[in-house]
Amino acid sequence: MVRADPEGRCAAMLAHGRKLVILPFRRETKIEDPDLASLDPTMTTVSSGRAPVMSSYTISLRDIDEKLENVLDMQFLYGYYEPTLLILYEPIRTFPG
C-alpha cells in the first residue's frame, strides 16, 4: 500500500504490514537572498544544481502505538503544514472466518 502526500512532499508505504516507510521527494529550493531575486523576478530556484534529497526512513508501527495492527487504509490529509498521515486500523481482527 503506497500513498502520496497531496502537496507532493513525500510518500508513505506500508511494508510487511508492520513497518511504515517514508520516501521524501526532491523539491526545488527558493532563493533566499532578496537582492538576487530583485535582479531577475522570473528566477525562483537556485541555479547551482539540484535540490538536496533526504534519505528514506522506516518507522515501526509498534513504536507509534502497540495496538496499531491490521492496517486497513491510510491517507495523507490535505491542507496541513507538514505531511500528516491518517491510519485506519483494527486492533483485533473482527471477521467471521
Residue 77 Cα distances to 21, 65, 86, angstroms: 17, 20, 7
Q: pLDDT tens digits for the chain (97 residues)?
A: 999 999 999 999 999 989 999 999 876 655 555 554 455 444 444 445 565 677 899 999 999 998 898 899 999 999 999 999 999 998 887 777 6
Spans of all domains in the chain:
2-89
Q: What is the pTM of this model?
A: 0.66
Q: Which three cell numbers stand for residue 83?
A: 505531511
